[in-house]
Structure 1
Amino acid sequence: MASFHDFLDPFWEPEDTSEPQHPPATPAEGYQLEVPGKGIIFARSTAAKSLCFKVSPNESGDRSLILNVMKNSCEFSTEKADVKTPLPNQRVVKLPPNSAHLRVARPGSAAIPTVYWLSIDRSNAVVRYGKDLPNNALTNLEVQLDKETDKWIESLVDVSVIEDGETQAKVTISKIPVTVDLAPLVVSDQSITMHQLATGTVTTVSDLPAACQVLYHNVAGANITLDNPEFPAFADAIQRSIDHPWLWCSQKLKAKAKAHEFGKPDIKPDIKKTYLRITLGKNKGNSPGIPYVMEIWPPGHSSPIHDHGKSSAVIKVLHGQIQCTWYNSLHGDKGHPEKIGNPVVMKKGDVTWLGEEQYQIHKLHNPSRGVCVTLQCYRFDGQDNVHDEYFHYLETGSGNEKKFDPNSDMAFTEFYKTMLHEWTGPESNFPFFEAAFRGSGDRGDGAD
């Protein structure tokens, strides 16, 4: 199981939780670490030449830590009595997948602000630097200090971040440094094992952000399932509705492909880039769209790469398998998203999650030969004062960032009745309806 942690845009002021991995990052007042020698410094910048982090000591220290990020290089150094000394090269470790230099806009393109972060961890004598989201998978440079001889790290307090040699960058600070990665698979406190606790291959419910904890408890129960004694063939009915072009699911998928829901209008419709959104309940105003969405993924179908408007979410697999791939951002150093780790395939009963700080950007894909059904649950964190009502995705055919208004293809109660009717009603008379459909000339394959 691939494991990652803490996707974070610190400028959205995420909600604090009882045991947070990273407490909310707040705009730096006077630019100081709350705890000497410990924390994450975030700078949102469009710098084109250089971005210089400098963390100076309090009265008990004797030197500063400097990180200078440039267009084609990156360097750690210390400064004592106005004398700068580069840290020895062997103590600076470049980690994949990203390069460490500035993310500079291509000629003719507008500069997109990038979040650069510096993590200082006196407890483990480690300094890390990365971009976008603070986690080990996106660490660019790591310096392992000596806890006995590098005591100077413990006195670092005062922060400045200068872009292009003259302007103070916009800075926020969180007091918990980057340490370990949290896993995407969620388990209850009743099912976690000592081995899982030791290896960190799962995340317990109590470690989730508060909004995710609420969502998990709402949908993790045994009765949140497609297995219905009144309609035991519910999943089979959905599969058949996809397979036969005169039935509702197939017709709706074809209509969505022709509407170019996630693709450029001038390219050939691709039905494999569609999925169905079946909503449960009403929009309560605390989520992007209706908070509970049953999503139906035919074999081989996928979503675009997208974020979730900084909302939190819990995803439960109700039937089949779904593959989830995570990304660093919608743009990345090469002008496109870069994968974090390896894709993870989740099966029936598995639960994953995302938050304002974690797993915010992903792509879902059904790699199996059968339909997959998932339940997506969304909620804004309590301290989110923005409430972005849209998901942001990369358009098929252009790669441009677009907004998606989380909509509904059908309400759950109506969909349930439709599937039951297709399974037991006149539509179940295959020879008659197949002949009528073929006579209409509609191929049902999503092509124009």
Structure 2
Amino acid sequence: MTCTVLKPLQQQETSDETKTDRFDKLVETLKDILGPSSGITSDDVDVGDLMDAMEQYTSDDREWCPYAMADDSRGYTRNLVDEGNGKSNLLILVWSPGKGSPIHDHGNAHCVMKILRGTLTETRYDFPDGDRNKPMEIKSISHHKENAVAYMADELGVHRVSNEGSDFACTRPPNVAKSGCHIFDLRSGKKSYVPKCGYYSRYGHLVKE
């Protein structure tokens, strides 16, 4: 296993204003939107508010790199930043060059993703047609660049996210806590249930497996 804590792309003087850390303010804003009891599956959460908050943040890797741990033996790592109210967690995902996620759904939850570094490719597929054994059908392919915000939900299909670049890429999604999802075989459409995805790090500290 190769664990790397990502470093800022540019080493710069950090002003007192920067030290107030807009990234931490984003974390607090997202927590305020979700409130004390709502998750991103909840009807009382306006996804547009989550997207607006993420769009207003301009990525500064001096602020979030301490949470971003990479492992090039994996497609990506899941790094916990904040547990929020226990129903939605905030993560930084670090995507290894040339790798990506399996095709997956989102367990009937919203997925809002902020690109913090690099460019990620999102390939969307139609949900498999019942129990028919046939290849997954591509609906669209999008390239999300740094500072873009992307949205995905099960009514839009299923998707795969991949990093086709030569450097690690990073994203910031609110994540469903304590619930799983399905992954899908590209050739047959067969789905498998994944009950829970663990964390690679928590609050900037590697989780020992």
Instruction: Please point out which of 62, 74, 92 is paired with 1:228.
Output: 62
Alignment equivalent of 1:313, drawn from 111, 123, 134: 111
Question: Does structure 1 conserve the Cα–Cα contact (< 8 Å) formed by 2:104 and 2:184?
Answer: yes
Structure 1 runs (4+) greater than 6 angstroms displaced: 396-399
SS at match of 1:303: coil
- Paired residue secondary structure (2:103): coil
CA contact (8 A) 2:183 2:191 kept: yes
8 Å CA contact 1:305–1:330 kept in 2: the answer is: no
Change (3 A) 1:310 1:399: same
Q: Which residue of 1 aligns with 2:198?
A: 407
Rounded to whole Å, the distance in 1 between the matches of 2:188 and 2:201 is 29
Structure 1 Cα separation of the partners of residues 137 and 116 of structure 2: 29
Q: Which runs of 5+ in 1 are unaligned?
A: 1-208, 239-247, 255-270, 380-386, 416-448
Letter in structure 1 aligned against 2:126: N
Q: Is the 8 A contact 1:215 1:313 kept in 2?
A: no
Distance, in Å, in 1 between the alignment partners of 2:85 and 2:45 is 18
In the alignment, which residue of structure 1 is the partner of 2:126? 328
SS of the residue 2:70 aligns to? helix
> In the alignment, is residue 219 of structure 1 matched against residue 20 of structure 2?
no
The CA deviation at 1:353 is 0.2
CA shift for structure 1 position 285: 4.3
- Distance, in Å, in 2 between the alignment partners of 1:324 and 1:414 is 29
**Is the counterpart of residue 345 in structure 1 residue 143 in structure 2?**
yes
Of 359, 372, 390, which residue of structure 1 is paired with 2:169? 372
Contact conserved, 1:327 with 1:338, CA < 8 A, in 2? yes
Work out the CA distance in 1 between the residues paired with 2:178 and 2:201.
Answer: 23
| Amino acid of the structure 2 residue aligned with 1:375 | R
Q: Deviations over 1:98-126 (max 9, x none)?
A: xxxxxxxxxxxxxxxxxxxxxxxxxxxxx
Structure 2 portions without partners, runs of 5+: 1-43
Structure with higher Rg: it is 1
Equivalent pair of 1:310/1:388 in contact (CA under 8 Å): no
1: distance between equivalents of 2:160 and 2:47?
Answer: 19
The higher-RCO structure (CA 8 Å, 6+ apart) is: 2
Contact 2:119 2:169 in 1 (8 A): yes
**2:169 counterpart letter in structure 1:** C
Q: Normalization by structure 2: what TM-score?
A: 0.63
Q: Does 1:279 align with 2:113?
A: no
Summarize the alignment of residues 391-406 of structure 1 with structure 2, pairs less than 5 Å apart.
391-394=181-184, 400-404=190-194, 405-406=196-197
